[in-house]
Structure 1
Amino acid sequence: MYSEVDIRRLTWQSRRGMLELDLLFVPFVQDAFRDLPEEDKDRFVKLLACEDQDLFLWLMEREIPVDPDLHKIVRIILDRVQPS
């Protein structure tokens, strides 16, 4: 279970310094994180531990994460900003 303090910390950690990542992560934490199932919240926390270069490639759909957990949360983030 993630508290409001945890969510504020995650919002801060979502500020990566790379505009493309900031524009995806910060709104995602503020608007969607609370409604995720716990396992997807854990996946997002795991995603934040990755290197910015990898995150950029995955979120710009130039590569796919090998880890299925990371692939799932990347898809959730992208589906949120690229609805079909």
Structure 2
Amino acid sequence: MADATELNRLFWHSRRGMLELDVLLVPFVKEVYSTLDAEDQARYRKLLECEDQDMFGWFMQRDEPEDADLRRIVRMILDRVQPK
């Protein structure tokens, strides 16, 4: 379980300054992150280490991460916002 300090840090790291990323990442960290298991939380933290341009391409579905962990967390975030 994520403590308040970690969630606050992740919130600020999720604010990327690119609207397309902010509208995906900020709500995800606020509403979903604390419900994830430890492995998926680690995947999210790993995602935050990536370059904004890479993430933009992944979330706009122009490309996908080569790393399986990153593919999983990107898919989780996209599944959350895409209509079923």
Q: Same fold (TM over 0.5)?
A: yes
Identity %: 57
> For residue 63 of structure 2, what is the amino acid of its counterpart?
E
Per the alignment, residue 39 of structure 1 pairs with 39
The 1-side partners of 2:10 and 2:63 are apart by: 24
Secondary structure in structure 2 of the residue aligned to 1:78 = helix
Q: Which runs of 5+ in 2 are unaligned?
A: none
Query: Given the two structures, how large is their TM-score scaled by the length of structure 1?
Result: 0.96
Where do 4+ consecutive residues of structure 1 move more than 3 Å? none
Paired residues for 1:1-84 under 5 Å: 1-84=1-84
Aligned alpha-carbon RMSD (Å): 0.8
Shift of 1:41: 0.5
Q: Report the count of equivalent residues.
A: 84
Unaligned runs of 5+ in 1: none
